[in-house]
A = this chain, B = another copy of it.
């Protein structure tokens, strides 16, 4: 158990930005909101998954929509809370814990905001160990938690509650359609689950992980080593490429930012060209001759070459000097039932086999204790 203070928040935002693999939304606005709540006296508590009682009632809370829009459009900051309260009214029960649905980007911070607003503890875990663009792409529902009831809310307080939908991909379609009508971004609360469900299905320890990533980066920036190496030291994985962004193509399609980055190499050993396809997140990194260096669900993290500041898909632009890191996915994402939902085929690359990167996510520190 630990308490989120300003220093932890700063580190979480850095680490979550990196593990966001380009997506999950920029954590900056959520960090500012959380900091305001901390200044007003909130003390959000993070508890380990093992500490959550089996009969607890848990939900993930976060934001849905294109990160491009989430940056450009002012949010109230209470959309996930409004969604959670609507879900509680629907269930006729109150939640005892919140948990991030994804650890990448803003959705690592939004549950902390809800915790600060409500006093509920945040579970040190999530459903992805990274970020993914769609609701069905989390371990909670992949491993059998029913996706509904689910609720979304917009800045005007408008609420939609979905129920009796057994298939998370159908929920994704319905919720995405309303989110687009809501202006492109919404807050969500889903799925309701017991503590036992959470412990069975979550990727554990990931809030601590992103805090430690941020801590290592800040220490390295302060003079104790190379920030990019510091990231790899905590996350596992390796440097795939170093070079300059020479083209960043993004367009808004069906509520998603889709596109491709092209990079020219600065390191002869690493090859002279890299392309990275993206759908909110970075999905597949290929050399100029088409060789796959890393593919989803393994993590492709683009960071500033000098500072390891995360380069999310919506801020990537021509001329940035970056390092591209490959980090092995959490074990829960590599089972066949998970790959069916978040493997290359699910993202439109049926021709690309999933060949896992060597190594272990977070050097093996996120498995159940």
Give residues in A with beta carbon < 8 Å to B.
Answer: 86, 89-90, 157-165, 170, 173-174, 177-178, 180-182
Contact = CB atoms under 8 A, between A and B. Distances in A.
Contact of A164 (B158, B164, B177, B181): B158
B164 A157 contact: yes
- How many copies of this kind of chain does the complex include? 2
Contacts of A173: 181
B161 A161 contact: yes
Contacts of A157: 164
Nearest to A161: B161
B161 A90 contact: yes
Contacts of A160: 160-163, 174, 178
The 5 lowest CB-CB distance pairs between A and B, nearest first, are A177-B177, A161-B161, A159-B163, A173-B181, A158-B165
A312 to B, nearest CB: 27
Nearest to A179: B177
A80 B256 CA distance: 32
Nearest to A159: B163
Contacts of A180: 177
Contacts of A181: 170, 173-174, 177
A170 B159 CA distance: 11
Contacts of A163: 86, 158-161
